[in-house]
Amino acid sequence: MSPLDVKLLRDLSRIRGQAIAILLVIAVGVLLQVMMSGLVASLTETRRAYYERNRLADVFAPVARAPDTVLSRLAALPGVARAEGRVVGAALVDIAGEAIPIQARALSLPDFGEAAFSAVYLTAGRMPDRTARDEILLLTAFARARGLAPGEVVRVTMNGARRTLRIAGLAEAPDLLFVGVPGEMMPDAARVAALWMRRSELAAAYDMQGAFNEAMLSLARGAREAQVIDAVDAVLEPWGGTGAYGRSDLVSDRFVSEEIDGLTTMSRAVPPLFLAVAASLLYIVVSRIVQSEREEIGQLKAFGYTDAEVGAHYFKLVLTIAVAGAALGCLLGVLAGRAMIPVYLTFYNFPFLVFRPDPAAFAIGAIASVAAASAGGLFVLRRVFALTPAEAMRPPAPSDFSKTLTLKGRLARLLDQPTRMVLRGIARQPWRTVALSAGVAGGMALASGMTTIYGSFERMMDLSFTVIDRSDATVTFTHPLARKAAYELARVPGVFAVEPVRDVPAVFRNRLNTHRGSVTGLIDPPELARAIGADLAPIPLPEAGIVLSRPLADILEIAPGETLTIEVREGRRPVLEVPVARVATSLIGAPAYMRLDALNRVLAEPGRISGARLRLDGARADAIYRALKDMPTVAGVSVARDARASLQKLMDQGAGSARYIMGAVAFIITFGIVYNAARIAHHERARDLASLRVIGFSRGEAGFVLLGELAVIVLAAIPVGSLAGYGLTFAIAAGFSSELYQIPAAFDPFSHGFAAAFVLGAALVSGWLVKRDMDRADLIAVLKSRD
């Protein structure tokens, strides 16, 4: 090993604390890059393969009831490759010991042969026998969550009739990657089910013999989806078609896409942030080393080493840290990615999901970290090249402070000399001070932003379940009923209040923006489920016109005063032009509210309701749910407590769980930056501090000069960081928000105070660590060295 390489190793060992800190920052950046891009690649590729292998349809066309003969007309449409019909129905699964029946989707399997679309993936057992009348396949996730296995029986209510069905096997399907609880959209394997039956059996149960109520189509090569959808709608119109939609509007696919998009965005935005921090830290640390080794550099050059050789020596130091960081990051990224797979399997029904790191991510991570580190290193190399051998022979010139603060005048005379040293130290290298302060501010921003987000998750839950929706349970009817159905609910003992609602599926259009959702009709004034404004006060619903939630208004790019087109997908399916009256704050979903009577009026269906929100006596809840279960018109009951628990689980174990990792990283980075700032201040001041100690300053007095600068850097960083953190909160909130839930961004004094306390604490600990080193320093050795 060459002597220079030995020196390199010793240098690394000498600065190991800082080297490890920088290495870790690089590693975290590369880890996130490898993990996130690997997850994106794994999810995208697995989904693609799954869709392809199990033949997910390109277009879905729900219809009230269309005879099978219509299918040949659909198949003959230009741009359609193949068409198949199936029967889909709402069912309730009764689980022993559960007062609330589980809402389920019942889907048909072809009596003979393979399904053209959405072929099931059998995970256990066998396919239902063609002759056995009561055999089903059950959704794997639900069966596992409920401990059900092939061979067992379940009690299912289909179209009002109770049946006992035997589980032949467990299965998954590509159109059920994500299954949300009806009415809540929350994924919760235990509270939502899907089951498959042979077509003839299911058709008998739902009165669909010789007919279908959902057509699935694949597109011919080069066909345009929008044109096909229009043609399909025209064909199905007479049969009660409620509007065909493409794969991207399939709820299951939309949620997976959102997940992938979120990951992609984060994988592009977050790792560069870490690499930038690492680059600036490397620059400061390496430039410090080069400065302190001027003499050695001069001597090496005097011995005959070329600029390139000497430069390469210091560049190797940078590269060693960068490459080690990148390698560690790649390794940890693969491990973290593998650890994240079960999270995705909890919320998405992938039959298989293997973490496959994206090879490009390794390359990008390694190249980016080396490039970032080199960028920091290159500035330093310029200084190495500029040094002449003669410099080693000359005593060092004191740093030039003659152009900094003169500190004259009456007020300035009040400053003691240590204070002057602190002030001039800051003024002499304002950019370095700004850079360090910006670094600490960055940490403060991350810490305050992430802490605020923690609070925002809680606030989202609280607002959603105690301010916006104050009901205990939501009942959904099998079809719109007369308003007196609500009175029947009110007669159930233990029900305190009943508030009828009408949910109407609809497609919203504003210019080129569309959204498939529903209009919710509320009584005036509503007590249990309300539209609220940004000030949390209830918004009175207008006589005519619609109140849109903020996310819906954003999707549609529409403002109050403008007119919205609503294509109702139920009943007579009118197309409405409705003025937007207000925009409401909403944290779950993207609802739209109208007055119940106004909604019914435009639908020309007076006095109809589709469900009700209830307040009930918690002590009698089970009895109430049993009573509801016995009502044939009740399609499902959603309990607020369960919905809240599902959401909490999603946020703690699913996508939202990333906030804990990011929060931890934010605090680690903040500490790293503050600690480095203190270390650097110490290195640059070591000689001054030793002199102060020698001439009789106590440790505390000398410490003031060291830590005074750190204090100024930190104190200046806190307000700036707080402001940046406020801005960052909006970005992080947007990153975490999905169509399912929105994370509100706001200024949270507690979070900012907490982050500031953390930064101050980090500064105190760093200051203490550095001061400990200062106290241990060999005064004589420091003073006898030239720099």
Partner 1 sequence: MALAFTVRNLGKVYGEGRSAVHALRGVSLDIPAGEIVVMLGASGSGKSTLLNILGGLDRASSGTVHFRDLCLTDLADRALTRYRRDNVGFVFQFYNLMPSLTALENVELITEIADKPMKAEEALAMVGLKERLDHFPSQLSGGEQQRVAIARAIAKQPEVLFCDEPTGALDSTTGRAVLTVLNAVNARFGTTVLMVTHAASIAGMAHRVIRLADGAISEVQVNKTRLAPEDIHW
Q: Where does this chain bind partner 1 (CB under 8 A)?
A: 395-402, 404, 416-418, 420-421, 424-425, 428, 687-688, 690-699, 701, 779-780, 783-784, 786
Q: In this complex, which beta carbon is closest to partner 1, that of residue 224 or of residue 772?
A: 772
Please report how close the Cβ of residue 771 comes to partner 1 at its closest, in angstroms: 14
- Provide, rounded to whole angstroms, the least separation between the CB of residue 694 and partner 1: 5
Nearest Cα to Cα of residue 763 among 689, 673, 642, 691? 673
Q: Smallest distance, Å, CB 292 to partner 1?
A: 14
Q: Closest separation between CB of residue 30 and partner 1, Å?
A: 40
8 A C-beta contact, residue 773 and residue 476? no
Residue 395 or 561 having the CB closest to partner 1 = 395
DSSP letters of 74-94? HHHSTTEEEEEEE-EEEEEEE
Instruction: Kindly tell me which of 403 and 491 has the beta carbon lying closer to partner 1.
Output: 403
Selection from 166, 165, 168 nearest residue 127 by Cα? 168
CB of residue 404 to partner 1, shortest distance in Å: 8
Q: Shortest distance, CB of residue 22 to partner 1, whole angstroms?
A: 28
* For partner 1, the closer CB: 265 or 691: 691
Judged by phi (left if over 0) then psi (alpha if -120 to 50, else beta), residue 334 lies in alpha
Is 749 within 8 Å of 658 (Cβ atoms)? no
Q: Closest approach of Cβ 781 to partner 1, in Å?
A: 11
Q: Least CB distance from residue 763 to partner 1, whole Å?
A: 22
Measured from the CB atom, the residue of 409 and 696 that comes closer to partner 1 is 696
Instruction: Compute φ and ψ for 577, nearest 5 degrees.
Output: -110, 110
In angstroms, what is the minimal distance from the CB of 711 to partner 1?
17
Of the pair 388, 399, the CB lying nearest partner 1 is at 399
Concatenating the DSSP letter of every residue in 482-547 gives ETHHHHHHHTSTTEEEEEEEEEEEEEEEETTEEEEEEEEEE-SS-SSB--B-TTSPBPPPPSSSEE
3-state secondary structure of 641: helix
Handedness of CA 50, 52, 56, 58 (dihedral sign): positive
Question: CB-wise, 572 or 776, nearer to partner 1?
Answer: 776
Distance CA 408, CA 419 (A): 14
Our CB check for partner 1 shows the closer of 160 and 396 to be 396
Pick the closer one to partner 1 by CB: 305 or 401. Answer: 401
The distance of closest approach from Cβ of residue 433 to partner 1 in the complex, given in angstroms and rounded to an integer, is 13
In angstroms, how far is the first alpha carbon of the chain from the final one?
Answer: 29
CB 377 within 8 A of CB 322: no
Which residues, 6 or more positions from 499, have their beta carbon under 8 angstroms from its beta carbon?
Answer: 471, 486, 522, 523, 526, 527, 528, 529, 612, 613, 614
| Helices and strands in the chain, H and E counts | 22, 20
Residue 227 or 399 having the CB closest to partner 1:
399
Q: How far is the CB of 272 from partner 1 (least distance, A)?
A: 36
With beta carbons less than 8 A apart as the criterion, state whether 582 and 739 touch: no
Smallest distance, Å, CB 685 to partner 1?
10
CA 640 to chain centre: 23
- H-state helical runs in 654-787: 658-694, 699-736, 749-776, 779-784
Give whichever of 55 and 682 is closer to partner 1, judged by the CB atom: 682
Of 188 and 684, nearer to partner 1 (C-beta) is 684
CB of 780 to partner 1, least distance (A): 6
Helices 430-462, 640-653: crossing angle, 10 deg rounding: 150
Task: Copy the structure tokens of residue 19.
Answer: 């080297």
C-beta closer to partner 1: residue 416 or 577: 416
Q: Which residue has the tokens 């159109």?
A: 175
* Of 543 and 701, CB closest to partner 1: 701
Render the burial of 421-445: b for 16+ CB within 10 Å, e for the rest. Answer: bbbbbbebeeebbebbbbbbbbbbb
Could you tell me if 539 and 520 are in contact, meaning their C-beta atoms sit under 8 angstroms apart? no
Residue 364: count of CB within 10 angstroms of its CB:
17
3-class DSSP assignment, residue 161: strand
Amino acid (one-letter) located at 623 = A
Smallest gap from Cβ 769 to partner 1, in A, equals: 19
